[in-house]
Structure 1
């Protein structure tokens, strides 16, 4: 570990444990008529988790943390669609309530409990129409969200958001298939990014959430084309308040430390070009993909990436059937050195092998996985440079992995998985 030109060796031994209990009862009703369909969905999700962390620095300095968290999510949604002679329309509405209560039993320094409540309402209207070989679709979604965060009685935030999400697309089907679309999307912060929970990383760094973190709104314009075995697309994205992890140097204490937290970047512009080819020779099937990406990002007056910094990603997958229900696959990918937010990612190469066996009409699936068989993956090698801190990560850990998974799908579970949960998006944030 290097700090201000001085190198220190601080051996650290850390033990962590996580215990989680969750329940998700769901009620849903669907009805399909001749030209219409109706769906009603109601969910309740509750989960409690407890995470413990015990670290020993230099064989004598002990750091312990015990944190308990509880989530409650309630949601209801209704969707209705109808096919008319001149167009097809769909309307719907959704309401959700979320409560997150975090409690420190023991912690790092003067920690306080954290609580967050969020209630939201959304409604939408979609219209679509086919004319010859052309298909047109447009829609608008309105969303209102109120979020309250508490770190203590004297430290509270109460914010209300109103968002509109327009959508438009036109596509053509013929000898050459093509499409052009525009949409606005939202990427909400997870609750670990919002909750003021301090997590020990090493003797000179820790991480903590930001209750004032805003959702990321993204406007996307994309065009795609497909002919035969080839397909490609190009897209432009403008991110408003993009969520990123930042590093801040804390110099108030006797030993300066780096605090990792989250913040919003006002504007980020991104370009992406993608091309893929599917092919087959005899029993061999494969596909190869190429992606080029670049972005322009400025934070606190400093430019971290420009459109001249081009990222390259290549992946090839080959699959061969062995016998009934069984196949084997090899996958190889390469990523060049490239910028990603504040991180400069070093080059990485990965080769993996997979074996799949389906039994009992596809209900039983057995998978064997051998990942990074040549130990060439460097996904955790990067440099983060900010105005007050520069952090370099060089990981030489053994990234090779061999695993087996067995999965059986019951009939009722399969039917439930096909239902449209009213809180699916919210659970992904937990």
Structure 2
């Protein structure tokens, strides 16, 4: 298998290098020098100039001007030519026809004129809608949203169309878990907990948009059965020295603060940029669990109440630079990281009785968990624009390291109903250092075979190693000693080699794209303490097909298909046991297998506004959360298992609308039916399904100088695996005011205005009978101030790295 994938990668690299070499070596003989100026005779830098044959206007070559407005076409054959110049905000301009004779020719100077932006004294301005539907994705434009101010990336993500986040910070899309989260087109390679911590420490003011891609093409990593969520961070687009400062405070039950500073400096061919964010967040959650445990003739009733308070202190940074080595090539690097400390102060009381609501005994379990996260990611990138026809080659090299240290102390006190001590207290403590190291390299090549036919190909190599070392101790005779029943070390190595090819064809009213991705995976999970090794090696192929048809000026239709994979997250493979108390805990499953999903979608668009999508997906070896009950220990624990199949039927309706010039809105509705099937799960045959829907309506009111937003969310009751989830709803509201020539902005927002958002989950399956209610601190009032400063002239390059998929499978606490 490995030799097959190696051959595929080698062939694609040879093709890419061959095309690039051919494009740069087959050159004729003369050089054309020219310059581009604006109306004030100042240089026009980084404008597009194209060399055309005078006799038929056919394209010969293209390039960009440098910071002096100059350009060069080298190795041009003799003949008569014209130069065409284009730039955003300017009318296209042409040089007079001129002859190329000899070795060096000076083309006539070209002057460009700005496009007029005024109509009879009225200036036209526009902003992007909050929700925007594109051919292959739905985009939530966060940058100018009132509700983004003061919120974290995780809180904003929860408001994206079709997205839900459960009590354990697992992200679902249209009711399906297994979402791949990317940041700037790069996989995060983090587990759900670690990803939640990263997103929670990412300030919303640094986000430009959130893209929801339910059926990605072969160009993307094949992981994620329900699709991809791509979080686009802002990158300053202005020349000179400029930036923005954002600071905010929030309060309801607990105080929060956040500050972010973005700087950008561009001089000549060099652009340097950076962002620094700092924040202090205290979150308070209440968790109530009721359980019934039957063991032979004995029935026990457990009622548990836990108060969790979690102060988090974070500092994030992101710095980088782009350097234009020529008008067609850009080298860049990005270094990012975060430095986060958090403290979990939990207090849990569990009442135990032989009759409902009765108390035969109770126990208190206070715990303190200190966690530190020290993460760093480095990206080196190169983008070569080979010609103006769209031939490009881009290369990314990435290294990431995530370090998490956890120190936990648990004390369990046992009491009789009258408050007297029933038995000596139990003291436990854990130290859990863990590291994740990620190396990736990828190359993407685009080659237009003609004006209507385009070839895309690429390769990617990734290597991930996780090392989790649980050192558990128990107090005996007043001294802590090693707890051999829990101490363990788990090391996981995974390598994925991938190659893809996409071929796209555009007709007058039809566009077709077909793709195929190959991924070869080898993994080894080593439970060192128990000398238990799980090794896997497999080669998979992932086809994709997209067909879009314009039926008329107002009607468009699209059909797409893709096959995808979900490899288990690293923490779900880790067999360690993590306690809330001695009766409630969770552990991983090192024998989890990957799950595979085939997805189909039919999309219809009316008048570029009303969008309707019908979808169906079938997942085999579906991995889901399962609760087991240990009837001997009277304990309930959570783990993951591979079910047989999961079928998902869904419909999405999205429509932006305008009522008046000052009142606009957007409605998004997701309806879905999920069916889970598995033989002999916990001793029974599972066949569970329920129709559910989610709705979100956003209203925006524009009054001179002010912007008001109100968003209402509703999620109906639904089923997931063996669980029943009750409905929830919430309303968010905010207002912003711009002043000082729109350089300053003040925003006030309140999330969950009526404090109604809560999670209510229950199951009564086999011997497991449990219900829980979790109420997080969701009603929060925020005030945020932003100041933009500096120049505002020229856009700089946006770049995304290549290591986002692997990062998305790491858990980040929080």
Deviations 1:43-94 (A, max 9, x none): 0111211122223333733332221101110010011011122510011000
For 2:789 and 2:713, the matched residues in 1 are separated by 35
Deviations 1:342-393 (A, max 9, x none): 2211121111123456899999987654221112223x21113332312201
Tell me: CA distance 1:384–1:354, structure 2 relative to 1, closer, same or farther (3 Å). farther
Partner of 1:82: 447
Q: How far off is 1:284 after superposition? A: 1.3
Note the 1:310-329 alignment, pairs <5 A.
310-323=691-704, 327-329=707-709
> Which stretch of the first structure deviates more once superposed, 401-410 or 161-170?
401-410
Partner of 1:163: 540
Whether the aligned pair in 1 keeps the contact of 2:647 and 2:674 (CA below 8 Å) is yes
Whether the aligned pair in 2 keeps the contact of 1:219 and 1:238 (CA below 8 Å) is yes
Is structure 2 residue 243 aligned with structure 1 residue 243?
no
Match of 2:495 among 108, 111, 119: 119
Whether the aligned pair in 2 keeps the contact of 1:248 and 1:259 (CA below 8 Å) is yes
Q: How far off is 1:11 after superposition? A: 3.0
Partner of 1:144: 520
RMSD: 2.7
Match of 1:100 among 461, 466, 482: 466
Is structure 2 residue 395 aligned with structure 1 residue 37?
no
Match of 1:387 among 766, 773, 778: 766
Q: How far off is 1:110 after superposition? A: 2.9
For 1:121 and 1:84, the matched residues in 2 are separated by 27
Tell me: CA distance 1:381–1:72, structure 2 relative to 1, closer, same or farther (3 Å). same
Whether the aligned pair in 2 keeps the contact of 1:274 and 1:292 (CA below 8 Å) is yes
For 2:686 and 2:439, the matched residues in 1 are separated by 42
For 2:379 and 2:796, the matched residues in 1 are separated by 9
> Which stretch of the first structure deviates more once superposed, 391-400 or 90-99?
391-400
Tell me: CA distance 1:203–1:353, structure 2 relative to 1, closer, same or farther (3 Å). farther
Tell me: CA distance 1:363–1:293, structure 2 relative to 1, closer, same or farther (3 Å). farther
Whether the aligned pair in 2 keeps the contact of 1:247 and 1:386 (CA below 8 Å) is no
Higher RCO by CA contacts (8 Å cutoff, separation 6 or greater): 2
Partner of 2:664: 285
Partner of 1:220: 599
Deviations 1:244-284 (A, max 9, x none): 111122245xx331221111112111100111222122211
Match of 2:611 among 192, 211, 231: 231
Match of 1:26 among 379, 385, 393: 379
For 2:644 and 2:570, the matched residues in 1 are separated by 21
> Which stretch of the first structure deviates more once superposed, 38-47 or 182-191?
182-191
> Which stretch of the first structure deviates more once superposed, 77-86 or 135-144?
77-86
Q: Secondary structure in 2 aligned to 1:291?
A: strand
For 2:593 and 2:669, the matched residues in 1 are separated by 33
After TM superposition, the score normalised by the length of structure 1 is 0.90
For 1:410 and 1:115, the matched residues in 2 are separated by 48
> Which stretch of the first structure deviates more once superposed, 22-31 or 196-205?
196-205
Partner of 1:72: 437
Whether the aligned pair in 1 keeps the contact of 2:292 and 2:770 (CA below 8 Å) is no
Match of 1:305 among 680, 685, 688: 688
Deviations 1:80-121 (A, max 9, x none): 011122510011000011010011233564321110000110
Q: How far off is 1:336 after superposition? A: 1.9
For 2:744 and 2:546, the matched residues in 1 are separated by 39
Match of 1:172 among 549, 564, 571: 549
Whether the aligned pair in 2 keeps the contact of 1:205 and 1:257 (CA below 8 Å) is yes
For 1:246 and 1:154, the matched residues in 2 are separated by 26
Q: Secondary structure in 2 aligned to 1:189?
A: coil
Note the 1:389-408 alignment, pairs <5 A.
389-395=768-774, 399-403=778-782
Deviations 1:371-424 (A, max 9, x none): 21112223x21113332312201235654223456789999xxx9993232211
Partner of 2:504: 128
For 1:304 and 1:365, the matched residues in 2 are separated by 53
Q: How far off is 1:205 after superposition? A: 1.4
Match of 1:6 among 300, 304, 321: 300
Match of 2:406 among 41, 45, 51: 51
For 2:809 and 2:740, the matched residues in 1 are separated by 35
Tell me: CA distance 1:398–1:75, structure 2 relative to 1, closer, same or farther (3 Å). closer
Tell me: CA distance 1:417–1:219, structure 2 relative to 1, closer, same or farther (3 Å). farther
Is structure 2 residue 734 aligned with structure 1 residue 354?
yes
Whether the aligned pair in 2 keeps the contact of 1:88 and 1:128 (CA below 8 Å) is yes
Whether the aligned pair in 2 keeps the contact of 1:101 and 1:115 (CA below 8 Å) is yes
Tell me: CA distance 1:365–1:238, structure 2 relative to 1, closer, same or farther (3 Å). farther
Tell me: CA distance 1:116–1:396, structure 2 relative to 1, closer, same or farther (3 Å). closer
Tell me: CA distance 1:350–1:72, structure 2 relative to 1, closer, same or farther (3 Å). same
Tell me: CA distance 1:169–1:375, structure 2 relative to 1, closer, same or farther (3 Å). same
Whether the aligned pair in 2 keeps the contact of 1:10 and 1:203 (CA below 8 Å) is no
